[in-house]
Amino acid sequence: MAAISFQVEHQCETARAGTLTTPHGIVETPIFMPVGTQATVKGLTPEMVAGVGASIILGNTYHLALRPGAERVASFGGLHQFMHWGGSILTDSGGFQVYSLAHQRKITDHGATFRSHIDGRLLELTPESATQIQEQLGSDIAMCLDECPPAQAAGDVMERAVNRSILWAGRCKAAHTRPDQAQFGIVQGGLDIDLRRKCAEPLVDLDFPGYALGGFSVGEAPEQMHAALPASAALLPIGKPRYLMGVGRPLDLLVGVAAGIDMFDCVLPTRNGRNAHALTHFGVVKLRNARHAADPGPLDAACGCYTCTNFSRGYLHHLFAASEMLGPTLVSLHNIAYYLDLMRNARAAIIAGRYPDYVANCVARWAEKA
C-alpha cells in the first residue's frame, strides 16, 4: 500500500483543488506548509499552529542531523512525537543548504560535505545518508537530495546541477526502504525550460509519488519566476502532488496555484512576524511605525485569528517597542493564519470556478493602504 494518496478533485483552468492523504491525516490542497526547520515553527506551540488550520509542516534534514541528531529524534519515537505534532510532516533533504551554505560546503557527484555552522564539524550528506536520516526522522514525505544552484549560475553550472540531481534522485530511490514514507523527486533547471524538461523526464520515469520544483526564489526576479512556472509545472505528472519549494510572498503563491502547484512552504510568515511585519488582506502592516501606536483597531479586520480577534494594533506596536516576546509570537501566528486562509479561499474559488476573479480581488485589496 502506498504511503500517500492524492486526488485532483476540481480544476479552474490549470489551478487545482485536491486531497492529499498521508499516514497522519488529510491535507486539502492547495496548501501552505509552515516551516519548522529545527522541530519547531519559531515562536509557536504545535497547538497554535494546528489551531489556525495547518495540516502539514516542514522539518529540515541538515539542521536536525546536526542538532539533536537523527538517532536522538528516532529514540523519541520520531519527529512527530519529538515535537508533539499530530499532523503530517514533510522533510527537506538538505538540498537548499547546498545553495544557502555554498560558502561552507564542498560538492561532488558523491554528495555534499558541510562545515557545521554550529561547531565546525563536518557533515556529509549523500543521497543515501539524506534518505536514511529522513527515515529515522519518520516524516510522512521525504525529499530527494538535489543540487540547488543560484539563479544567476552559468549555463554549464546549471546543467551540471541538473545532471547531479538526476543521478542523486535515482540513488535516493534505491536507498529508500520505509513503506510508510513517501519520497518526492525535485526538478531543477533554473529559468531554462529545456533544462527543466531534461531534469523532469528521467525523474518522472522513476515514478515518485510526488514531485517538487526546486531552484526558484534563489535570486531571480519574481516576474521571471512567475513567467517560468506554468511551463515548469506542466512537466510534472497531472495525477501527483506538485510542490513549489521555498516560495514565497502571497502573490507568488497565487501565481503558483494558477500554474497548477499544490503545495508551498516559506519562512517568510514567521521571519516577517519576528520583525513586526504583518501580512494582511490589505497589504503589509509595519507595526513599528508610530502611526499604529494609538490605533485601537485589529491588525486585520478581515482575519479571525487569535491575534486579530483579541489585540489592537496599538498593543502590538507596544510589544515590539518594549521588546516583549509576545509580539513576534502574535504576529507570526497571524501571518501563518493569513497564509492558510489565502490557500483555503483559493481552494474555494477553484471549486467555484472563479479562481482568476479571486486573484484579481486579492491584488486589488493589496493595493489599498493597510
pTM of the full structure: 0.97
Cell digits of residue 193? 525550460
- Contact between 355 and 363 (Cβ < 8 Å): no
Residue spans of alpha helices (H) in 282-325: 306-310, 313-321
- Contact between 27 and 21 (Cβ < 8 Å): yes
- Contact between 88 and 138 (Cβ < 8 Å): no
Q: How far apart are CA 274 and CA 261, in angstroms?
A: 28
What angle (nearest 5°) sits at the alpha carbon of residue 186, between those of residues 155 and 245? 95
DSSP 236: S
* DSSP per-residue string spanning 65-87: HHTT-HHHHHHTTSHHHHHT--S
Q: Is 158 helix (H, G, I), strand (E, B) or coil?
A: helix
SS in 3 state form for 12-35? ECCEEEEEEEECCEEEEECEEECE
Cell digits of residue 289? 511605525
Count CB neighbours of 363 within 10 A.
Answer: 12
Using one digit for the tens of pLDDT, what is the confidence trace for 40-86?
Answer: 999 999 999 999 999 999 999 999 999 999 999 999 999 999 999 99
Q: How far apart are CA 42 and CA 333, in angstroms?
A: 10
Start and end residues for every CATH 3.20.20.105 domain found in the chain: 5-265
Radius of gyration of the chain from Cα atoms? 20
CATH of 5-265 given 3.30.870.10, 3.40.50.1220, 3.20.20.105, 1.20.1530.20: 3.20.20.105
pLDDT of residue 370: 57
The closest alpha carbon to 287, from 253, 247, 251, 323, belongs to: 323
The closest alpha carbon to 97, from 167, 147, 151, 153, belongs to: 147
Cell digits of residue 355? 479562481
pLDDT of residue 42: 98
The H or E element that residue 336 is part of is: helix 326-352
Q: How far apart are CA 157 and CA 190, in angstroms?
A: 11
Query: Omega before 68 cis (within 30°)?
Result: yes
Burial label, 47 (beta-carbon count in 10 A; 0-12, 13-18, 19+): exposed
pLDDT by 10s per residue, the chain, length 370: 799 999 999 999 999 999 999 999 999 999 999 999 999 999 999 999 999 999 999 999 999 999 999 999 999 999 999 999 999 999 999 867 765 666 778 899 999 998 887 888 888 999 999 999 999 999 999 999 999 999 999 999 999 999 999 999 999 999 999 999 999 999 999 999 999 999 999 999 999 999 999 999 999 999 999 999 999 999 999 999 999 999 989 999 999 999 999 999 999 999 999 999 999 999 999 999 999 999 999 999 999 999 999 999 999 999 999 999 999 999 999 999 999 999 999 999 999 999 999 999 999 999 886 5
Count CB neighbours of 367 within 10 A.
Answer: 9
- Contact between 167 and 109 (Cβ < 8 Å): yes
pLDDT of residue 368: 82
DSSP 144: P
pLDDT of residue 98: 60
pLDDT of residue 61: 94
Q: Are strands 105-107 and 263-265 parallel, antiparallel or unpaired?
A: unpaired
Q: Which are the catalytic amino acids?
A: 92, 265
The closest alpha carbon to 258, from 142, 362, 150, belongs to: 362
Query: Omega before 248 cis (within 30°)?
Result: yes
Q: What's the sign of the alpha-carbon dihedral 259, 264, 266, 270? A: positive
The H or E element that residue 257 is part of is: helix 250-259
